[in-house]
A and B are shown apart, each in its own frame.
Chain A
Amino acid sequence: MATLSNLRFVRQYVTPWAIVRHTGKPRITGRPTHQPFIKKGKFLKVVEPLYEADPRTDAERCSQRLEMRQKREERQKTPNAYEAFLATEIFRLLDESSLAAVFHKIPTTNRDYYSIRLRLHKAGFSTYSFTNKVLRAAVQDTKYHNLLPLFESNNVLVFCKESNVKALVEKTRRLSQLHLLGGVVDNQLLSAAGFERYAHLPPLEGVLGQLCSILNTATGKITRLASSHQMALSQHLENYVKQNQEGKTVETES
């Protein structure tokens, strides 16, 4: 049993294998072989940078999408020469056509879309597809600038020389691939509801006839009221004359 009296100091003997050369020169080249000394390690840990939490969403933070987004923004800034030319063409089409309708296009097979375009072509409507960048450039700072909110997604433009709204609405009403958003008819901007209302209107001649009759009723009433007494008098006189003539003939016959 070890007691205090049994303990005595023993000289520590360091074996030759533990002796290592220490030249006093620092190890500059080469990677670190072990963890840093505790005091240095503490300092390195304390000094680690702290950043604020990123308020951006995952999609905004993604570095792969960042490049794509930057390229997309660059491309969307200004139109190049060809796109500027296309923009002038679109403006010309808008000016020259009485009817210009903007449709939203649902992704569909080329075959189905071709058949739709063919049907419209046979009815006298021409279909066009442009990128939104070109459409926006065509319409910005012009009288059609209120069409800008429509040019966001997949768009298709339909033009016609005559304002054949009824035919267009009927042909496209049942289609699942095209959805009417709005457009320009006879230099007037119309929404989809406006197009429907326009389609339900009777023909122009009928409407003009109705207008004439409405205008006439007002004046007709006045003339009728003014001449009512004269008319009644003349009618009564006619009846009296007729009655007298009938009485004379009966007398002569008998």
Chain B
Amino acid sequence: MLRNVGYKFSFSFIKGGNWYRCLLTAGYKDYKIPPTFDDVEFPERGKLKIMEKVPQLKGQETPIKMMKRLKDLRGPDLVNNKLVHKQYGLQALTPGYLRWGHLEMIRLMVNRNMDDRRMFAIWRIDPPWKPITRKGQGQRMGGGKGAIDHYVTPVRANRMIVEMGGTVEFDIVRPILESITKKLPLRSWVVNQEMLERKEMEEEFEEGVNQNPFTMEFLINNNMQSCQTWLGKYDKMWHMKYK
């Protein structure tokens, strides 16, 4: 704010028996230039479509019962962990099963609160496909596998769940997605492309700056304290970062 430059006006006023002079000055404000969203391509459907509760069977298919298959949850997601439109998204930090209720909640929260003229949203996960069986209440063990109770979508860590974009800044989209993170059965966070890149850079930097010569990779690969006897194959793969 530049003082005593430009036109100046003043007026006096009395308060509490004392005279005060108020000097009005004009200043120069440096407004930031807003970003242009020329690269943004809007998809055909801007809003999230309804996910089916039960997968549609084709022809004479019967509904199959599936084993627990925890490998669907285990480890990091190596494929769908990036943003397609390079704008904003919701990323899972821990694994979990998303049921139809969770997906409906996401759909309603996003579709109701977004401005479809300026924004769009897309699913990054499949509709529920994995059958989860349940036995009736009070039933004893045995008598075969239970009946299919519901379907879920398994989500691994670092998976993108929902992506949003448009001619808007991050602060407009963030509250919509933040309200979803509190209601999901897994830990997640709202990201933009810059945050993802910075996280990668920070991890690399921390590795370089760390003075400790002992890393998990080093201990495991060198079988320190004969740890290979009690380590599992996934510990050797992911160095205890994921279960």
Contacts and interface: CB of A to CB of B under 8 A. Distances in A.
Given A27-B243, A43-B240, A44-B240, A49 B210 contact: yes
B5 A130 contact: yes
Interface in A159-181: none
A48 B212 contact: yes
A131 B30 contact: no
A13 interface: no
A52 interface: yes
Contacts of B216: 43, 47
B73 A28 contact: yes
A80 B28 CA distance: 10
Given A44-B240, A80-B30, A110-B23, A49 B212 contact: yes
* Main secondary structure on B side of the interface with A: loop
B17 to A, nearest CB: 16
B185 to A, nearest CB: 8
A129 B219 contact: no
Contacts of B225: 39, 42-43
B230 A51 contact: no
Interface in B1-45: 2-5, 21, 23, 28, 30
B243 A26 contact: yes
Contact of A29 (B5, B95, B212): B95
B23 A40 contact: no
Contacts, number: 71
B240 A40 contact: yes
A49 B206 contact: yes
Interface in A125-140: 127-131, 134
Contact of A26 (B70, B211, B212, B230): B70
Q: How large is the interface on B (under 10, 10 to 19, 20 to 34, 35 or more residues)?
A: 20 to 34
Given A46-B219, A75-B30, A86 B5 contact: yes
A25 interface: yes
Contact of A110 (B2, B21, B30, B97): B21
A52 B211 contact: yes
Given A28-B70, A75-B30, A50 B210 contact: yes
A50 B70 contact: no
Interface in A106-162: 110-111, 114, 127-131, 134
A51 B211 contact: yes
A82 interface: yes
A83 B23 CA distance: 22
Contacts of B28: 80, 82-83
A129 B5 contact: yes
B81 to A, nearest CB: 17
Given A29-B73, A110-B21, A50 B212 contact: yes
Given A28-B73, A28-B243, A29-B97, 19 more contacts: A26-B70, A26-B243, A29-B94, A39-B227, A43-B219, A43-B225, A46-B219, A48-B212, A49-B206, A50-B212, A52-B209, A75-B30, A86-B2, A86-B5, A127-B4, A129-B3, A130-B2, A130-B5, A134-B2
Instruction: Give 6 nearest A-B pairs by CB, closest first.
Output: A50-B212, A49-B210, A129-B4, A50-B211, A129-B3, A28-B243
Interface of B: 2-5, 21, 23, 28, 30, 68, 70, 73-74, 94-97, 185-186, 206, 209-212, 214-216, 219, 225, 227, 230, 240, 243
